[in-house]
Amino acid sequence: MHAHGLSKKQVLAELKKIRRRDKHYDDGKILCSMCTKPHPMAIKAYRLFLTSNLGDPGLFSGSVQLEEEVINDLATLLHGENCVGHVVSGGTEANLMALLAARNMAHVNAPEVVLPESAHFSFTKICNLLDLKPVYAGLDDSFRVDPLQVEKCAGEKTVAIVGTAGTSELGVVDPIEELSRVALEHKVWLHVDAAFGGLVIPFLADAKLNFDFALEAVESITVDPHKMGMAAIPAGGIIFRDSKALDYIKTETPYLTDQYQYTFIGTRTGAAAASTWAVFRSLGVEGFKKVVGKCMKTTRLLADGLTDAGFKLVVEPTLNIVAFRSDGGTRHLVEKLRRQGWFVSYVPRYDCIRIVVMPHVKNRQALAFLKDLVVNQKC
């Protein structure tokens, strides 16, 4: 820290200069992110609620109202009734609260959780924290977790089974319906990580994917407004089917305006709830269908173009994620594309390039990407 402060003008000029080193969503060249440019109303709402703290709800009852309405909207969208939940910092905290509730409720020695091999890496963090032993179930040919393997992995120590609705690497949706049957049989908590898919699947035109509270065993769902909900970071969501879950995750607060906290994070911005609320009200179901429809069209355009150019899709896209590889080698293409300004992910597990077709990616950018990709492959 310098001894003396600088003027507003100096600080702002320096900030703007440094900000130019960040990439921006507008040019459509970020193809590796599950976040996107927030909806204009998400930004306005965030600014309006910037000083709100949901960690001290007695002071911010307007923000509390917005959080409740967002949670109700999400629960209804996910076919839940009388659900409870919170706007949290993102998928990691949401998954944590779910597994914490499941672990504490089950209260067994040396607890285990059955995870798909394709589960998000946040579960590695969470298992490390919670001293939960992850037991990994393998995938079927289409990279969905194999329910027979889940069945085999489940035992007396299992406190939860996890399924993913929209894996981070391939956008695949696990067979949650079958997981629900396994979970019911074993009387075990089923958590669905729909951080990405939770705000895509309900708006898909064709696919009818059963993944939510309509399935009896589903006790909790993670769904992140700061991904396909176009809210500003940090806006995650955790929804529980039953309010009893809260008893297993609550902490007493000795001096705040509320007696208990049900989130891991204490001080947390109300702007996240406001930002989400603003998008939900601005778009409505029809608006979301349009956004998702557009993303799926661009996804199709990209998938077809890749196939036409001789690339192999790892799997047919279910959601707005495309993963592909090249017979001539894939990894080296990532660096070449980077030099042209394209940001794509390389996924070592499947030796593939992954593209997330977020709302900021337009058709013309997808086509420009294809063109650059094909040239790169040839030279």
Give min distance, CB of 308 to a second copy, in A. 25
Decide: is 164 part of the binding site for a second copy (CB under 8 A): no
Confirm or reject binding of residue 257 to a second copy (CB under 8 A): yes
Cβ-proximal residues to 4 (8 Å cutoff; 6+ apart), any chain? none
- DSSP for 166-226, written as a single string: S-TTT--B--HHHHHHHHHHTT-EEEEE-TTGGGTGGG-SS-----STTSTTEEEEE--TT
**Conformation bin of residue 341: beta by default, left when phi > 0, alpha when psi is -120 to 50:** left
Q: How many residues bind to a second copy according to rule CB under 8 A?
A: 110
Instruction: List binders of a second copy among 92-111 (CB under 8 A).
Output: 92-93, 96, 100, 104
- The H-or-E segment that residue 307 falls in is helix 271-308
Of 80, 85, 90, 166, which one interacts with a second copy (CB under 8 A)?
90
Block residue for tokens 């049900």? 262
Q: Which of 28, 66, 147, 322 binds a second copy (CB under 8 A)?
A: 66
Dist CA 345 CA 347 (whole Å): 6
Which of the residues 224 through 253 are near a second copy (CB under 8 A)? Answer: 224, 226, 232-234, 251-253
Q: Is 131 in the site for a second copy (CB under 8 A)?
A: yes
- Phi/psi of residue 343, each to 5°? -110, 110
Residue 45 beta carbon to a second copy: minimum distance, rounded to whole angstroms: 6
DSSP 269: B
Residue 183 or 319: which CB sits closer to a second copy? 319
Closest separation between CB of residue 329 and a second copy, Å? 18
210 makes contact with a second copy (CB under 8 A) = no
Q: Is 124 in the site for a second copy (CB under 8 A)?
A: yes
Which range in 88-96, 179-187, 211-219, 306-314 contacts a second copy by CB under 8 A? 88-96
191 sits near a second copy (criterion: CB under 8 A): no
Identity of the residue, 150 or 321, whose beta carbon is nearer to a second copy in the bound complex? 321
Q: Should residue 2 be labelled a site residue for a second copy when binding is judged by CB under 8 A?
A: yes
Among positions 262-321, residues that touch a second copy (CB under 8 A) are 264-270, 274, 277-278, 280-288
- CB contact at 8 A, 190 and 161: yes
Dihedral Cα 238, 239, 245, 249, nearest 10 deg: 20
In the complex with a second copy, the residue whose CB is nearer, 76 or 142, is 76
Find the binding residues for a second copy in span 16-35 (CB under 8 A).
16, 18-25, 30, 32-35
DSSP 353: E
User: Residues 6 or more apart from 181 whose CB is under 8 A from it?
Assistant: 147, 217
Which one of the spans 51-59, 152-160, 186-194, 311-319 is the region binding a second copy (CB under 8 A)? 51-59
End-to-end Cα distance, the chain:
49
